[in-house]
Amino acid sequence: MNKQRWTKIESLVDGALSYPESLQKTYIRQSCNSNPEIRQEALDLLMAIKESEGWMEQFYPFKKMFLR
């Protein structure tokens, strides 16, 4: 992926994250309707961000054992 493509995808996802979750995918779809490849990559990145939220919380009970 070249820098220009990454910048476009990053910009789309950043823009989408400024909207409520219910509108984020719509924002991306409408913003790059003419380029389905970039649209899909932006949607994939947005989904990856959403799926990664909170993953550290599963380790919270163990944190106390190691940080005394």
Mean pLDDT, each 10-residue run in order, the chain (68 residues): 92 95 96 92 93 67 63
Indicate the number of domains in the chain.
1
pLDDT of residue 57: 65
Per the structure, the complete domain to which residue 44 belongs is given by 3-66
pLDDT of residue 68: 56
CA angle (51 as vertex; 50, 54 as ends), nearest 5: 90
- 15-45 b/e with 16+ CB inside 10 Å = b? ebeeeeeeebbebbeebbeeeeebbebbbeb
